[in-house]
Amino acid sequence: MSTSIPGLMLFELPVHGDNRGWFKENWQREKMAAAGLPDFGPVQNNISLNRAVGTTRGIHAEPWDKWVSVASGRIFGAWVDLRRGPTFGRVFTAEVDPSRAVFVPRGVGNAFQTLMPDTAYTYLVNDHWSPDGEYAFVNLADPQLSIPWPIPLDRAELSEKDRSHPPLIHASHVTPRKILVVGADGQVGRALRKLYEGMPEVEFAGRAEFDLTDPASTARRHWRDYGAVVNAAAYTAVDRAETDEGRRTAWAVNVAGTTVLSRLARENGLTLVHISSDYVFDGAKARPYTENDPVSPLGVYGQTKAAADAIVSTVDRHYVLRTSWVIGEGSNFVRTMQSLAARGVQPRVVSDQIGRLTFTDDLARAIAHLLDSQAKPGIYNVTGAGDAVSWADIARDVYAACGRSRKDVQDVDTLTYFRGASGPVAPRPPRSVLDLTKIESTGFTPRPWRDSLRDYLRD
């Protein structure tokens, strides 16, 4: 059952007894997950034997999750929320014997007092102790907590260290698990920097800070301190990917790099967020593509993104965001059209590719929503909302916003546009319209791309 402290859960465990004694399943992954417990990935099991009644162990909050239970005897347990937020200092108490267990999330202080002799207290944890960890403590006797210890603390067995812990007013906070944004210097990465500005629990790493091809770079981080990794790194030069060198680079960045992140996520229980593309489809369908449609990429770039999607899907907690026609900071189609309009150029723009723009601010907002809401893992289409149009139609909208005539933009088909190109040209999906029903069902409302375009041009 849930408690007054968010994430702290109390479970009743069936205990089967006979003339020989009793047996219980103290931890059973499948059953616990079905009961609503996070699959927190324990890596260590500890047991504390307490000889005397009244043995009291202090309120410690560590940077990991715990599954605590009693193997023999009985305890009075007290838990204090030491995470930053509105529930900081909130207390929950309960008696626990072998028929009960408690899931204690990271940052919630845990203490107990034995009510029977020779009480064995056990806990599973999902990280190893480290001298660099952030640990928080609070005094057992703090009047502000008002913990009703069954045995007064002046008659209880305590360590001097526990007696000297600070009151709540001076207690340290335990920070939440961090989010790491990889590829933080790209368009999506810069949008995430803007969204998460001033939030110390979000780290940003460009290629200089984090190189997926360098094992030393991945080994330097203590991955159990993280809760999620957002993979915003990608090789997106779709035409160059059709060259020998570009093909090798595209597979190295989009597939091999994603494989490294997926392995780290599986080993450390991380949520992995990955940005995918409409290029995983051939664009032959007249209707919008859903998340369940089979992939059929036309070119190298699309092949690498489809392969990465499959790899990320092996991670228990994953979000693959398929998007299209991304516009953010730096050089892009909208900025090019804006520049041409300012110079009085009358461009020919492709009119037989149909889709919707996706602005990186909106994509960043969708990423934050999925992480915050803890939506069901899987693939989600994320683009701007509204009607599907051609690149030429978008160019005309830009020209009109710049005070130029829409007639200045001339239609051209893809084949004609690329005729005479100096290098390889990647095949483009003619229809890149993605169905948004699934992301909308999570409570996220994609912004109409025309509204985003208007604000983008104004800013």
In this predicted model, what pLDDT tens digit does every residue of 43-84 receive, in sequence order?
A: 899 999 999 999 999 999 998 999 999 999 999 999 999 998
pLDDT (0 to 100) of residue 1: 81
**The pLDDT of residue 33:** 84
Indicate which residues carry an active-site annotation: 60, 123
Q: 434: which residues sit within 8 A by CB, 6+ positions away? A: 278, 288, 289, 322, 323, 324, 356, 381, 382, 383
The pLDDT score that the predictor gives to residue 142 is 96
Per-position DSSP letters for 360-400, written without gaps between them:
HHHHHHHHHHHHHHTPPSEEEE---BS--EEHHHHHHHHHH
Cβ-contact 136, 171 below 8 angstroms:
yes
Q: How far apart, in whole angstroms, are the C-alpha atoms of residue 392 and residue 395?
A: 5
Alpha-carbon gap, residue 93 to 121, rounded angstroms: 16
Report the C-alpha gap between 351 and 359 in whole angstroms. Answer: 21
pLDDT (0 to 100) of residue 60: 94
pLDDT confidence of residue 339: 96
Regions in the chain scoring below 70 on pLDDT: none
Domain annotation for the chain: domains and CATH numbers? 9-170 (2.60.120.10), 178-458 (3.40.50.720)
Are 22 and 73 contacting, i.e. CB atoms less than 8 angstroms apart? no
Q: Is the pTM of this model over 0.85?
A: yes
Both tokens of 133, joined, read 């960890």
Q: How far apart are CA 108 and CA 128, in angstroms?
A: 17
Q: What is the pLDDT of residue 40?
A: 85
List the one residue out of 79, 47, 45, 38 whose CA is nearest residue 61: 79
pLDDT for residue 185: 92
DSSP state of 287: S
What's the Cα-to-Cα distance from 400 to each of 127, 344, 388, 393, rounded to whole Å? 57, 12, 18, 11
- State the Cα–Cα distance between residues 391 and 347, nearest whole angstrom: 12
